[in-house]
């Protein structure tokens, strides 16, 4: 496929041989036989339409094409064009459960992105035995990152797959089901209600548990961590026309604060650091984003912590800070980080590190044969950072790890190699980020921070290790493709402001 008249990096309907995959025209990145989405980083094969890198669950359609002289004819069904997505063919389950049978072939603990993708990949790869997916939630798998971006979204609008999907593909989902111990010797999981389930292969994808405040008054009503749709919905109801306080200026906290500005009478953010996002994005980018929030009437209380939560008739009324400030509050959202939800594994023999994370290798295998782990609760070797053991609690990374775990349950010897990619949206502006920037020692910024049209390259020594941008698409996807190709990006390449070095790299 050649470049279009719309400019370098534009792509439309890619042609390959006698078939095409329909892709909405956008400034995507074409490289190595695939096109990468400029917004979320998903990659699709331009010949087959297959999803090759995440996030996402479905692939794209491919159609017959005929070229006569200067005209291209595409044969397509109306339904396929309207759907714009294709679910891969999945194997039929030949070992259906009889009620809640006490044995299964694959047990998946956790029904977030990692767990769901693992289950779907097994079926896509021809696995026809029993799969059980268990979750603490009352809902079927849903899009949890949307909770903090759109707090009044209803649970059914967040569902990743309808109930009929799981029934059709023989994936059993146990909701409100808590695993309390795992017996690796006898390959059994024990649930809180005493139910025991044997497994042949096990995926641990329990995710994380939000940290809570430990201050005086922590038990008062109307203080939330955003964990479920019900949490998010209730926060919106309580904040409408009233005073909201957000503790923590990371992604969750800032997304919640941005959303509540249109609902609440006042929105305040309390943060221990000097600027929001400082550890991830650096001080200059953090200050620019902070200014955007202040322009949207968000009040910041920086370099301080919550000392006390004061109540009136049991319900929150004030937040007292260590700086002696007292902030009026009718509802408080706490977003101060999370810890791996792995307490149930402490006596199991499955390895945990000092912080409670599950260490895995490139194949998502734990120290116990037949037991795999994926998602927010794992540390794994990051291939393009010299196999440094890292924890990356990103939606996209959980998808990728779930697939690799499934492939290796089937002895395919797959390895995790994706480049981390994340995004957020606040006040109608999207921030994109790719790479792994922990330990960066300098930030090279091109563009205009004040106008929020910029790209920031995070470097360590002479190497670019991550990138962030606003209103600069598709630069982050381009950098992600370069890193995915195995090529290093040097600091001197990004200091000049000339981005032509990106053109064609990785092709």
Q: Domain of 488: which CATH number?
A: 3.30.390.30
- Which tokens in the block code for residue 224? 């939330």
Q: pLDDT tens across 12-51, in order?
A: 334 333 444 445 545 677 766 677 777 776 767 777 776 6
Asked if the structure places residue 99 within a domain, the reply is no
Complete DSSP assignment for 218-249? TT-BSEE---SHHHHHHHHHHHBTSEEEEE--
Distance of CA 45 to the CA centre of its chain: 21
Per cent of the chain over pLDDT 70 is 89
Q: Which of 19-33, 192-206, 379-393 has the lowest mean pLDDT?
A: 19-33
**Average confidence (pLDDT) over 5-13:** 35
Burial class (CB in 10 A: 0-12, 13-18, 19+), 248: buried
**Exposure string (b/e) for 182-211, b if CB count within 10 Å is 16 or more?**
bebeebbbbbeeeeebebebbbbbbbbbbe
**Exposure string (b/e) for 432-459, b if CB count within 10 Å is 16 or more?**
bbbbbbbebeebbbbbebeebebbbbbb
Instruction: Determine the pLDDT at residue 77.
Output: 80
Q: Do 447 and 465 belong to one domain?
A: yes
Quick one: residue 90, left, alpha or beta (phi over 0 = left, psi -120 to 50 = alpha)?
beta
Q: Do 67 and 22 belong to one domain?
A: yes
**Average confidence (pLDDT) over 423-446:** 95
- Which tokens in the block code for residue 153? 């979204």
26 DSSP assignment:
B
**Average confidence (pLDDT) over 418-444:** 95
**Average confidence (pLDDT) over 370-377:** 99
Q: Is there a contact between 58 and 99 (Cβ–Cβ < 8 Å)?
A: no
Q: Do 110 and 171 belong to one domain?
A: yes
Asked if the structure places residue 10 within a domain, the reply is no
Task: Quickly tell me which residue has 């979320």 as its tokens.
Answer: 40
- Domain final residue pick, 304, 336, 368: 336
CA-to-CA separations, 485 to 2, 34, 41, 124, 376, in angstroms, rounded: 20, 12, 14, 26, 25
For residue 295, what pLDDT band results from cuts at 50, 70 and 90?
very high
Distance of CA 345 to the CA centre of its chain: 24
Asked if the structure places residue 482 within a domain, the reply is yes
Q: Do 239 and 320 belong to one domain?
A: yes
For 380-404, the three-class secondary structure string (H helix, E strand, C coil) is: EEEHHHCCEEECCCCHHHHHHHHHH
Instruction: Determine the pLDDT at residue 37.
Output: 73
Q: Do 346 and 201 belong to one domain?
A: yes
Q: What pTM did the predictor assign?
A: 0.88
**Owning domain of residue 316:** 223-336
Distance of CA 26 to the CA centre of its chain: 22
Instruction: Determine the pLDDT at residue 256.
Output: 98
Q: Is the dihedral of CA 62, 64, 69, 71 positive or negative?
A: negative
Instruction: Determine the pLDDT at residue 29.
Output: 73
Task: Quickly tell me which residue has 């042609």 as its tokens.
Answer: 15
- 485, HSE (Cβ side, Cα atoms, 13 Å): 21
| Rg of the chain (C-alpha set) | 24
- Which tokens in the block code for residue 418? 């994706």
Q: Which of 20-34, 195-209, 325-339 has the lowest mean pLDDT?
A: 20-34
Q: Do 434 and 395 belong to one domain?
A: no
Residues in contact with 303: Cβ distance below 8 Å, sequence separation at least 6, in sequence order: 271, 272, 273, 274, 323
Q: Do 392 and 481 belong to one domain?
A: no
Count: domains in the chain: 4
Say which CATH number the domain at 148 has: 3.50.50.60
CA distance 380 to 315: 43
- Give the DSSP H or E segment for 253: helix 251-260
Task: Quickly tell me which residue has 């096990």 as its tokens.
Answer: 202
- Which tokens in the block code for residue 397? 């990374």
**Average confidence (pLDDT) over 123-139:** 96
**Average confidence (pLDDT) over 186-193:** 97
Q: Do 395 and 441 belong to one domain?
A: no
Residue closest to 331 by CA, chosen among 341, 348, 310, 316: 316
Asked if the structure places residue 94 within a domain, the reply is no
Asked if the structure places residue 244 within a domain, the reply is yes
- Domain final residue pick, 307, 336, 365: 336
Asked if the structure places residue 153 within a domain, the reply is yes
**Average confidence (pLDDT) over 369-373:** 99
Q: Do 256 and 153 belong to one domain?
A: no
Q: Do 320 and 349 belong to one domain?
A: no
CA distance 145 to 158: 10
Q: Do 315 and 355 belong to one domain?
A: no
Q: pLDDT tens across 88-106, in order?
A: 878 888 876 645 566 789 9
Q: Do 375 and 292 belong to one domain?
A: no
Instruction: Determine the pLDDT at residue 85.
Output: 76
Instruction: Determine the pLDDT at residue 43.
Output: 67
Asked if the structure places residue 113 within a domain, the reply is yes
Instruction: Determine the pLDDT at residue 420.
Output: 95
Asked if the structure places residue 62 within a domain, the reply is yes
Cross-strand pairs, 454: 447, 470
Complete DSSP assignment for 135-192? -SSSSSSB-GGGGTTSTT--HHHHBSS-HHHHHHTTEEEETT--EEEEETTTTEEEET
Mean residue pLDDT across the chain: 89
Q: Is there a contact between 431 and 469 (Cβ–Cβ < 8 Å)?
A: yes
- Give the DSSP H or E segment for 38: none
Say which CATH number the domain at 67 has: 2.102.10.10
CA-to-CA separations, 134 to 16, 71, 197, 246, 412, in angstroms, rounded: 41, 52, 11, 31, 25
- Domain final residue pick, 409, 444, 460: 409
Instruction: Determine the pLDDT at residue 14.
Output: 40
What distance, in Å, lies between the first and last C-alpha atoms of the chain?
12
């Amino acid at each position: 496929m050649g470049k279009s008249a719309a400019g370098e990096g534009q792509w439309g309907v890619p042609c390959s041989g006698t078939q095409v995959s329909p892709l909405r025209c956008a400034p995507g990145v074409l490289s190595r036989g695939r096109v990468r989405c400029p917004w979320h980083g998903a990659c699709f094969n331009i010949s087959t339409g297959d999803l090759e890198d995440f996030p996402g669950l479905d692939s794209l359609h491919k159609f017959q094409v005929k070229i006569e002289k200067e005209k291209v004819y595409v044969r397509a069904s109306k339904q396929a064009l309207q759907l714009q997505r294709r679910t891969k063919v999945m194997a039929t389950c030949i070992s259906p459960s009889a009620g809640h049978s006490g044995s299964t072939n694959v047990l998946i603990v956790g029904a977030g992105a990692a767990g769901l993708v693992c289950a779907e990949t097994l079926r896509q790869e021809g696995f026809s035995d029993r799969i059980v997916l268990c979750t603490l939630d009352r809902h079927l798998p849903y899009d949890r990152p949307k909770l903090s971006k759109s707090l009044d979204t209803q649970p059914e609008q967040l569902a990743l797959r309808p109930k009929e999907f799981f029934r059709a593909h023989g994936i059993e989902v146990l909701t409100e089901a808590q695993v309390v111990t795992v017996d690796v010797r006898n390959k059994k999981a024990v649930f809180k209600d005493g139910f025991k389930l044997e497994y042949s292969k096990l995926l641990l994808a329990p995710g994380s548990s939000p940290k809570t405040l430990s201050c005086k008054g922590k038990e008062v009503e109307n203080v939330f961590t955003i964990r479920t749709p019900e949490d998010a919905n209730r926060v919106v109801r309580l904040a409408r026309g009233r005073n909201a306080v957000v503790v923590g200026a990371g992604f969750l906290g800032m997304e919640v604060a941005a959303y509540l500005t249109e609902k609440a009478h006042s929105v305040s953010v309390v943060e221990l650091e000097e600027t929001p996002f400082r550890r991830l994005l650096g001080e200059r980018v953090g200050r620019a984003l902070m200014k955007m929030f202040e322009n949207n009437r968000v009040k910041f209380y920086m370099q301080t912590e919550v000392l006390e939560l004061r109540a009136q008739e049991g319900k929150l009324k004030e937040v007292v800070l260590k700086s002696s400030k007292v902030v009026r509050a009718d509802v408080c959202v706490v977003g101060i980080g999370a810890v791996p939800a792995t307490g149930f594994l402490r006596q199991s023999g499955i390895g945990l590190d000092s912080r409670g994370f599950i260490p895995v290798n490139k194949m998502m295998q734990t120290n116990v044969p037949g037991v795999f782990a994926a998602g927010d609760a794992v540390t794994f070797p990051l291939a393009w950072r010299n196999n440094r053991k890292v924890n990356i609690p990103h939606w996209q990374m959980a998808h990728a790890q779930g697939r690799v775990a499934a492939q290796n349950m089937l002895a395919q010897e797959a390895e995790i190699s994706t480049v981390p990619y994340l995004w957020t949206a606040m006040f109608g502006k999207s921030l994109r980020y790719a790479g792994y920037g922990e330990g960066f020692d300098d930030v090279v910024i091109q563009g205009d921070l004040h106008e929020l049209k910029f790209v920031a390259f995070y470097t360590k020594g002479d190497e670019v290790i991550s990138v962030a941008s606003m209103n600069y698409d598709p630069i982050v996807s381009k950098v992600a493709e370069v890193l995915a190709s195995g090529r290093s990006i040097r600091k001197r390449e990004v200091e000049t402001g000339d981005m032509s070095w990106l053109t064609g790299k990785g092709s």
